[in-house]
Structure 1
């Protein structure tokens, strides 16, 4: 997959198909998943609280929890649907690319359903096997409001 925009669509499809191990494999060893509390206004994950800031180890633990048949929060299992606008490349140089992708995210569990919207920002690096995620940042629209418990990955 040469086009990084295709990579972003593939990544969302893996989440929607509950292929969490394959999704996790897309992250670089030093990769991070970040959901800032202040949305796009937050400059970094260190000077203010975040909704999530997880390295590969924490992501692995979340994936293992989601797969565990005794995970109470997954009875019934959660399912997601990402609806993406076309990704736009914001910066590209020397084997790295930064993309911006507006999205709608729906997560359903049992009779309940939540809808979130925002912008996904991917920092991808080129490796010998293709693209890897160095950072996936999710800037939620109105992130500072009270949010429902999201079980999966936006």
Structure 2
């Protein structure tokens, strides 16, 4: 049975996998129908009919990970690094019978490459589903506080 601790541990583990660049292990957290979404507008409801900063299925995530891990990716010399500072995740919905769970986590995210350092803050929402005895990401939604600001290239995943 999935508990609130399982959910919070899952979210902390996901951030750690990103911070330590364990890309394949991170991709393995996604459900085959999983999505990674970064809306362009406050309280945006539709990732398809409205523009988004990112809206990627598992195939696009895999392509981005291959680019990040590639030796011939010259835009990643030196490699980007990141750090997630998370508040304790809030469990928004917990339905063990349906195998469906939702959590929302406030965070500060730092990304660096060479002498460049960028910081972002916002909220990560996880829609999780139970698969066998574990959890998989059905949707990860990243809402930035300054979603309407001009951005440089965000290289990694928040």
Q: Normalising to structure 1: TM-score of the pair?
A: 0.96
Contact preservation (8 Å) 1:73, 1:151: no
Give 4+ residue runs of structure 1 displaced > 4 Å after superposition: none
Per-residue displacement from partner, 1:1-39 (whole Å, max 9, x unpaired)?
Answer: 851011000000000000001000000000000000014
CA distance in 1: counterparts of 2:9 and 2:103, whole angstroms: 11
Deviation at 1:129, TM superposition (A): 4.3
Partner of 2:155: 151
How many pairs are equivalent? 153
CA distance in 2: counterparts of 1:135 and 1:72, whole angstroms: 30
Partner of 1:133: 137
Partner of 2:126: 122
Deviation at 1:47, TM superposition (A): 2.4
Gaps of 5+ in 2: none
Task: Please tell me the root mean square deviation across aligned C-alpha atoms, in Å.
Answer: 1.1
CA distance in 2: counterparts of 1:138 and 1:120, whole angstroms: 5
Gaps of 5+ in 1: none
Task: Give yes or no for the alignment of 1:142 onto 2:146.
Answer: yes
Per-residue displacement from partner, 1:88-110 (whole Å, max 9, x unpaired)?
Answer: 00111121101000000000101
Q: Normalising to structure 2: TM-score of the pair?
A: 0.94
Task: Give yes or no for the alignment of 1:25 onto 2:11.
Answer: no
